[in-house]
Chain A
Amino acid sequence: MNLDKFLIPASESVRRKGPNDRIVMSSRVRLARNIKDAAFPGWAKKPERVRVLEIIRPAVEGLSEMKDGFSETMDNLTALEKQILVERHLISREHAAKSAGSGLVINPEETLAVMINEEDHLRMQALRPGLQIRQAWQALDRLDSELEQKLDYAFSNDLGYLTACPTNLGTGIRVSAMLHLPGLVLAEQINPIIQSVNKLGLAVRGLYGEGTEALGNVFQVSNQMTLGETETSIVERLEKVLAQIIEHEENARASLLEKKPKMVFNHIGRAYGILANAHCISSKETMNLLSLLRLGVEIGLFPKTDGALVDELFILTQPAHLQKTHSEKLSAEERDLLRADMLRERLKPVSRPVAKPGNSTASGLDKSDKS
């Protein structure tokens, strides 16, 4: 099956709307499951992994939700295709490193993705735009209930669903939201927020999950504990914390615009200047600047620009997406040139930021500038 033809174009997928999507870019729930009588993927030898894949893959493909979906074994995907799937957040980086004996099934809407033989036999995830973790959990719960009729899960009455790593034991659930928090970063309030979120037993991670740094002011917040709590209470706890983070971000933006508008406009204006005029730009710098551009659109500095364009560029300027549009293998330097070309071209219709947002109370100089 051709992955390129299957995937929803970035220009379309960024137009999907969800509640609070100014701040919550997406919501995700994943469940870890294993089947009985087989070693976990990290310990199983290849023939056993292949056997497990051959049991699980048809079961997943046969689910009503997965009709007309994409199903492939990891050895049949090129390194580039795998990287594209990572950049779309459909598979983990760990799964991208897998080959024979691992597989992947995605539904046509790209709201459900099942990794087979990642760290566990099954890693299923439900994705939704905006703040919809409860809806994502309900969708995944249904998928799991349908699947448990076909597969014999490893389950213990005391310990719940048995997983390769004890950190996922019990419910096997990880609930997470991807947050765009430029306000808290600019206001230098992000570290205390991260610390207090950590104290509540939740993890804060970077753009691509575990072990990645925060690029483009995007942070992933997720539960850490999986045993001794019901799925619903985990979902509810995260919802509460997310509501608070959203409020803090809104407050940070409002107070920045009131107290330090020049600082904010300066950052956004410079970001626009570089993105629209650079001839060589790295993926990391691009993401950090696009984040500021996104903030600019949201606070009204680019009245005629659709925010979806920024989100689309966020996807298209990443290494694998950029490589995909060129037949010959690009070096990192060549990519930086092509990325800059693409940005200049796509940002042509975007006019310079207005001096101040029309409907905002922001005016005058920063208090600190007066001194």
Chain B
Amino acid sequence: MLCCICKEKNATVHLTQITGDKMQKVDLCEECARSKGVNDQTGFSLADLLLGLGASQELESTGGLETRCPKCGFTHSDFKKSGRLGCSECYVTFAEGLGGLLKSMHKGTRHIGKVPESLRTRRDLTEQLSTLQKKLNKAIETENFELAAVLRDEIRQLNSRLASANA
């Protein structure tokens, strides 16, 4: 494979770059990689390399300079160095800056795939509960107390199931 810049030497550095919704593979020889700053440890951001140019700035632009994950102590400059986050809580800490990043690298920004069974149960129960609660409110409004009593029992039952699912 030839270097795609000088088209002379063999490519030994291989990068995949994502810019907007476009993905580009770059194969560089060592010299061109150095001249582009890829091998320069100090002047180069791995986050930019991994996640597309401008990724590190994007995270930086939110929350001021010293945003630190309260859970693991990770900062955005750590992100800039490694292109990776510190812990699962970091997704909350750096949520604002990550939004644009995720948009540019993925098909969507909301997960629509697999959900762990236990969470699925919890989510389903929560949804059922909110529907029942609405029905109950309506029943009380219309003074249908017989129905309200039935609904109240159902809600009680679901609540205890939810409590055991959370345990």
Q: Which residues of A contact B (CB under 8 A)?
A: 34, 36, 38-40, 42-43, 119, 141, 144-145, 148-149, 153-162, 164-167, 169-171, 173, 194, 198-199, 201, 203-206, 210-214, 224-231
Cβ–Cβ < 8 Å partners of A119 in chain B = 84
20 pairs of residues in contact across A and B, judged by CB atoms under 8 Å: A36-B88, A119-B84, A153-B116, A156-B91, A157-B115, A159-B111, A162-B88, A167-B105, A169-B91, A169-B106, A170-B111, A198-B25, A199-B23, A213-B1, A224-B16, A225-B106, A226-B106, A227-B102, A227-B107, A231-B113
The smallest beta-carbon distance between A219 and chain B, in angstroms, is 11
B117 pairs with A145, CB closer than 8 A: yes
6 closest A-B pairs by beta carbon, nearest first, are A228-B108, A160-B111, A154-B88, A227-B106, A228-B107, A171-B113
Closest to B92 in A: A156
The residue that A213 contacts in the complex, of B14, B15, B98, B112, with Cβ under 8 A, is B14
Closest to B16 in A: A203
Cβ–Cβ < 8 Å partners of A203 in chain B = 16, 23, 25
Closest to A153 in B: B116
A166 pairs with B113, CB closer than 8 A: no
Main SS at interface, chain A:
loop
B142 lies within 8 A of chain A by Cβ = no
Closest to B23 in A: A198
- Using known A-B contacts A156-B111, A227-B102, A228-B109, determine if residue A167 contacts B51 with beta carbons closer than 8 Å: yes
A40 pairs with B86, CB closer than 8 A: yes
A159 pairs with B91, CB closer than 8 A: yes
B78 lies within 8 A of chain A by Cβ = yes
Cβ–Cβ < 8 Å partners of A40 in chain B = 84-88
B11 lies within 8 A of chain A by Cβ = yes
B115 pairs with A155, CB closer than 8 A: yes
B106 pairs with A43, CB closer than 8 A: no
A228 pairs with B85, CB closer than 8 A: no
Closest to A141 in B: B114
- Chain B positions 55 through 96: 1 when the CB is less than 8 Å from some CB of chain A, otherwise 0: 000000000000000001010001000111111100100000
B109 pairs with A227, CB closer than 8 A: yes
Cβ–Cβ < 8 Å partners of A194 in chain B = 25
Complex: how many Å from CA A206 to CA B107? Answer: 24
The smallest beta-carbon distance between A236 and chain B, in angstroms, is 13
B119 lies within 8 A of chain A by Cβ = yes
A166 pairs with B87, CB closer than 8 A: no
B119 pairs with A155, CB closer than 8 A: yes
B53 lies within 8 A of chain A by Cβ = no
